[in-house]
Structure 1
């Protein structure tokens, strides 16, 4: 309980009044509790409130202070880049003022904030070697140019009708996919899924061989069952690899990733439990994740290897 109070004290300055500060404390305490359902009604009942209106008001109308601060350890927060739809928001200044939106907020396309925030993050010292994004970001030439100027690798998705230059000829990415011979497809895993590893066929093609300093590729991912393209992406100076333990020693040190239930359980156990020490709680979490990783490895090895 002492740790919980210390954590809430650290964010108390974000609230201008004591009422929303108390509501936030009750809200967080309810999220950390072992409730089956965590809506405002259940959280208010858990906090002993007569109604959920205080928590609902906290989520709907409370205004928080988010100052960007920097210290000896580096930047604590990056400034936001707000942008709004021109027709629905910027056309009504009164609506923006009522929502507390600053006057300098303007209209912008979806990739525009990324074009501004990625360089800001890099200048602030955020460690990153490559950037990824969806089709909206992949079709924006300014974002790609910004990343290329900084020699930052990127892998944004693109549409099948996107025109690229291959062997000096302009073709669509869908045509390039259809031309890939069977021997050029390689089977790799794309992470873990609910039913085990997600296997796909992968291929890539150099799309800037006519440029002496180019390193641009078209990355293609195909469904193994249907044969249909599952992803098309431009790639610059970036490679994606699935790291697997190479020997028994590596597997012994492997741990299952933190799941959402475990992420929810650990803060509650660390802040609200008084019968166990922090060392015991973390040791139990580590033991469980190591055994989960071992069981998962044995299961996948038996399932996918003849």
Structure 2
């Protein structure tokens, strides 16, 4: 046992050193994005407080954990302070990609919803969210994750404003939505993020996403920008083949039994996961203008990738394109991209579970942008720390490599400050919370009386 503990002690020391260096590097990149000196300290404090061991994360709980006497500093930072959050977002993304980059980096696009209790929050509406498991009052945002063999972390996000919401001038004015922000579909938001990635020079080869992002518009944008893609499509998606136009389900039914290949697609403590795979040639319909070869053939190669569950025989379909000719050996590369697509789900779990992504009680455009801006580097720095620690630590003795959450547990006893919990401070915040809750209840009561009298 002593040997195991010594190994963990080494990892804890390395994680502390790497966390301190990474946090200093990323905050140093965005120093000049703040109009004044005052917002800089809350930004770093919030980044650390997001990862403290707490039940919930909002302005009240973060301010209490940091030892503040009230929420005014954090609320000023979120809503009113001069912060160039777009430039900060870009610099955080470049730093994250620079730390994790490899030659086969995958950009994974997906959306998630955050349940809200009030329709006054920017973008909040009754809409479908997979995170909620159905339709509910929520904010939905499209996120972009950067995934490589070294690690993965979110590098961009865009809030979805529904068509009705985006056209409501009163709501836009009340929540401070900029005039240049208009209604855009999820694939259009994803396309804008891909364009930013290219403009920033972030190295990435692949784009991956679920069925929402498998449409013609985004596929053509990806190819215009020079990305190969592996995008999920619905079972009734139609493709052009040498024998005519077929649905992907009809195409899969033509695969001979001997042409299915069983491949390992992941590993967990319970064992390896295996699926059966097949790859079928199709004709491209998303070639950007002027990109055809002189012979009239589409540049690169387009295929449909079919995944079949070993036991249930359930099928999943992925439309793929690569600028390199696809030989049988390339099946492993495409399957690897499909597996990396799951990383965005892990990022959502981490960002929501330990970095407060969905817990900010933000109502305005600025506060949403800045709350997510703080959650994003908190998650990214944690991912980079995990990558550096895993590489630097000596091989373990009958120990599996530490997970990101395990690294966080070590950081909470080494590098991260502990939430303030002395008796005087706790009593102060108990009184502060109850007083403000009383004021809020009184305000609601008065408003209800006014509206009741007006409708009588």
Q: TM-score, normalised by structure 1?
A: 0.65
Residue of structure 2 in register with 1:283 after alignment: none
Give CA deviations for 1:79-136 in whole Å, capped at 9, x if unaligned. 9866622212x22112222222210111111111222332331232111111111111
Q: 1:236 to 1:159 in 2, by over 3 A?
A: same
Q: 2:177 aligns with which of 91, 101, 110?
A: 101
Structure 1 residues 59 and 134, CA gap change in structure 2 (3 angstroms): farther
Report the Cα offset of residue 266 of structure 1: 3.3
- Alignment correspondent of 1:290: none
Who is 2:405 aligned against? 260
**Cα pair distance change 1:195/1:100, threshold 3 Å:** farther
Does the Cα contact within 8 Å between 2:26 and 2:95 map onto a contact in 1? no
Task: Give the 3 Å change call, closer, same or farther, for CA 121–21 of structure 1 in structure 2.
Answer: closer
TM-superposed CA distance for 1:182, in Å, is 2.0
Equivalent position to 1:226, from 299, 302, 312: 312
Q: What is the deviation of 1:176?
A: 1.6
Q: Distance in 2 between matches of 1:70 and 1:44?
A: 23
Greater RCO (Cα-Cα under 8 Å, separation 6 or more):
2
Post-superposition offset of 1:209? 9.2
2:432 matched residue in structure 1: none
State yes or no: 1:84 paired with 2:103. no
**TM-fit CA distance, 1:189:** 1.8
**Aligned residue in 2 for 1:286:** none
Q: CA deviation at 1:138?
A: 0.5
Give the Å deviation of 1:167.
2.3
Q: Which moved more, 1:198-207 or 1:56-65?
A: 56-65
The residue aligned with 2:425 is none
Corresponding residue of 2:255: 180
Asked if the contact 1:167–1:207 (Cα under 8 Å) also holds between the matched residues in 2, the reply is yes
**Among residues 158, 163, 172, which one is paired with 2:233 in the alignment?**
158
Please report the RMSD computed on the Cα atoms of aligned residues, expressed in angstroms.
4.4
**Number of residue-to-residue matches in the alignment:** 257
Matching residue of 2:276: 201
| Per-residue deviation, 1:70 | 12
Q: Which runs of 5 or more structure 2 residues have no equivalent in the other structure?
A: 1-15, 97-154, 286-295, 323-329, 338-393, 419-456
Q: Indicate how the Cα distance of structure 1 residues 70 and 160 shifts in structure 2: closer, same or farther if over 3 A, else same.
A: closer
* Cα distance in 2, alignment partners of residues 113 and 148 from structure 1: 16
Q: Give the Å deviation of 1:21.
A: 6.3
Give 1:9-88 correspondences, 5 Å limit.
10=28, 27-33=46-52, 35=53, 37-40=55-58, 43-48=62-67, 57=75, 61=79, 64-68=83-87, 84-88=161-165
Q: Which residue of 1 aligns with 2:188?
A: 112
Change in Cα spacing, 1:46 to 1:70, as seen in structure 2 (3 Å) is closer
